[in-house]
Copies of this chain bind each other. A is one copy, B any other.
């Protein structure tokens, strides 16, 4: 990763972390257990890729981080919720994530399930309240809520997850793996960057270009994850290696092999950057992030 991308990511990540601290409730009353569990996964060392993409999507059309922070944070809450639910015994049954015991290992299945539900709903509270408390284009905000809810739901993450499960152990199929990845991971990543552009007042052409960028980057991101699951270093990624294969997961390497998967990944990054053709240097962070996403080690 270039020094410039590193600095950009780090600065935006700090903004996001501070805002998340501010938005998150303190554990105090009878709901303390679930609030602690929500905190646990939210502050377990995430890279804040989705919030940073949301900010970069705003900045690319002249917007600011401040103007999208509540939505950026909502995206991280939704991402955290999805990790907690994915790790549950009923789904992936993972004991470790980012080198720490998963939520249900610490808080039990019941509280973990509810912590996921709590993070998901809090995301919508944050976004709606933003529109009530600050001067925001309410039409744009409703469009963003619709976009994000759809990307998280059966048309996005939930749909990808269920296909992922149904195809465990079955013969790998190119169209299925594309469906799984674009839905399970791609949809929320695409929604993240697009939400930033919409909120920052980007025009329709800009919104469409950024959305295309997001779709390519989102798919490349999940392919990179598949590859890390095979080639990665356990200490760096913080969970077991080879888990996908053990479970018979449908992944890009399982369908296309490692070499072809890397080619597809590189092509997706090229196409993502191409989608930004008409943007000026304010889109440079987005270009850097696209390259970073396939070079990261965790």
Contact = CB atoms under 8 A, between A and B. Distances in A.
Interface of A: 25, 29-31, 33-35, 38, 85, 88, 90-91, 108-114, 116-118, 120-122, 124-125, 127-129, 131-132, 138-139, 141-143, 145-146, 149-150, 152-155, 158-163, 165-166, 176, 179-180, 183
A25 B154 contact: yes
A38 B154 contact: yes
B132 A139 contact: yes
B91 A110 contact: yes
A172 to B, nearest CB: 14
Contacts of A34: 154, 158-159, 161-162
Contacts of A121: 120, 149-150, 152-154, 158
A149 B25 CA distance: 15
Task: Quickly give the copy total for this chain.
Answer: 2
Contacts of A180: 30
B113 A35 contact: no
Given A90-B110, A122-B153, A141-B142, 8 more contacts: A25-B154, A31-B158, A34-B154, A90-B109, A121-B149, A121-B152, A122-B149, A128-B149
